Amino acid sequence: MRFQAPRGTEDVLPEASHAWQRLESTFRSHVAKYGYEEIRTPTFEETELFLRSAGETSDIVTKQMYDFLDKGGRSNTLKAEGTAPAMRAMIEHNLLQQIPQRISYITPVFRYERPQKGRLREHHQVGIELIGSSSPAADAEVIEIAVRFYETLGLTEFSVLINSIGRTQCRELYQAALLAYAKSYVDGQAEESQDRIRKNPLRLLDSKDSEAVELMKSAPSILDFLEPESKTNFEELQRILDQSRIQYEVAPQIVRGLDYYTETVFELQVDTIGAQSAIGGGGRYDNLIKELGGPNLPSVGFGIGIERALLTLEAAGISWQRSGLDVYIVIAEPGLLDLGRNVSDQLRSREISVVMDYDGRSMKSQLKQADRHNSRFACIIGEDEVNSDSLTIRDLRTSSQQTLPTQEAIEFLCATAD
């Protein structure tokens, strides 16, 4: 029997993993420039954490959680998003006495969705959270980090959509207005979805149903309902983004799929990777930490899907060379294995990557292996080399070859290999 990866999951094969490493290391060094430090949380959490945070009407909670009972009868859920687990950890370890806190993470995320291009059941996110500031400058920092991250990766064509969904009070007024506007549509829905919409009418705005999409085009805008302070905050955010020369569009239809957001929400989108166009998203969540039993701290963050980021870079023609091997050691006969291992050791202690054959392959076949490894040099050891305490170095880019005394050859390889 042959097994396959579970539906909606992907293997990252060796030839693709260098792109992941590049993206992740770029993310780490990028966010470090803004003072963010990494947090790692477990792959699963108590189910209740996601019920409390993502919201009972969100798709994530109603349809997509990977939940299971463990052998002790506890209900657990595979990480359905990165923010609530990070906040749980910050509260649990009393790290919120001192604010602001800036944290980042790279994490798998599990959602039982219908798989398609760019939509997986296990995907990965890089994300950040800035905890303890209510300033629009904090929102701007988070948006700037997402935008500059993509720019650092070489992407220039993407949209930044921002919106404010206000605070609880104005949102209630808006939700009532939205429900009144969409009354006949809502009345025509099945009872279950009526229920969901009535509990959170904002769901109408990101509904995939074509009738709802059409209807929402002329729906009232949340921006007309904002309280004065939310309005001022949103204007200040735009002023700072303008000053930082970050291009954005105000998009009142962006409400996001998680219920914890307050005021600023945003998404980065592209039109090059099909229907799943959101390559990052986030916003402010001023009530979440309190909801989870922590102090009352305003916070803001984002998550960027790694798979979608890589699809986008590929579509934009941005690719990274696989870094090849430095040296492949070719031995003329198996008796030279120890000598080859000794040279390998010396090179590796100088940070040079080395592979050699242990299985008595012919020299021709060893040179083929060197090619397969995309090796820069072959270091050939045969009888002549042993007798003269030397090594033959073949430059596999130019095919030129030279024989040098062993120590000199090692120095040459260390100086030339990149």
Binding residues for ligand HAM, rule: CB under 6 A, are 81-83, 111, 113, 118-120, 123, 125, 127, 129, 257-258, 278-283, 285, 301-305, 307-308
Q: How far is the CB of 82 from ligand HAM (least distance, A)?
A: 5
Q: How far is the CB of 216 from ligand HAM (least distance, A)?
A: 19
Closer by beta carbon to ligand HAM, 23 or else 325: 23
SS3 410: helix
CB-count burial class (<10 Å; 0-12, 13-18, 19+) for 177: middle
Q: How far is the CB of 184 from ligand HAM (least distance, A)?
A: 31
Closer by beta carbon to ligand HAM, 282 or else 340: 282
Closer by beta carbon to ligand HAM, 171 or else 308: 308
Closer by beta carbon to ligand HAM, 304 or else 354: 304
Q: Which residues pair with 78 in a beta bridge?
A: 44
Q: How far is the CB of 148 from ligand HAM (least distance, A)?
A: 17
Closer by beta carbon to ligand HAM, 225 or else 302: 302
314-320, Cβ contacts within 8 angstroms, sequence gap of 24 or more:
315/270, 315/272, 315/273, 316/154, 316/155, 316/156, 316/157, 316/272, 318/153, 318/154, 318/155, 319/19, 320/18, 320/19, 320/22
Encode 127-163: b = buried (16+ Cβ within 10 Å), e = exposed. bbbbbbbbbbebbbbbbbbbbebbeebebeebebbbb
Tell me the residue number closest to ligand HAM, measured at CB.
305
Task: Tell me which residue of 99, 114, 102, 58 sits closest to 81, measured CA to CA.
Answer: 58
Closer by beta carbon to ligand HAM, 190 or else 275: 275
Q: For residue 318, what are its two tokens?
A: 């941005």
Q: How far is the CB of 375 from ligand HAM (least distance, A)?
A: 35
Q: How far is the CB of 415 from ligand HAM (least distance, A)?
A: 43
CA distance 394 to 377: 6
Cα–Cα–Cα angle for 354, 357, 360, rounded to 5 degrees: 160
Q: How far is the CB of 62 from ligand HAM (least distance, A)?
A: 14
Closer by beta carbon to ligand HAM, 264 or else 366: 264
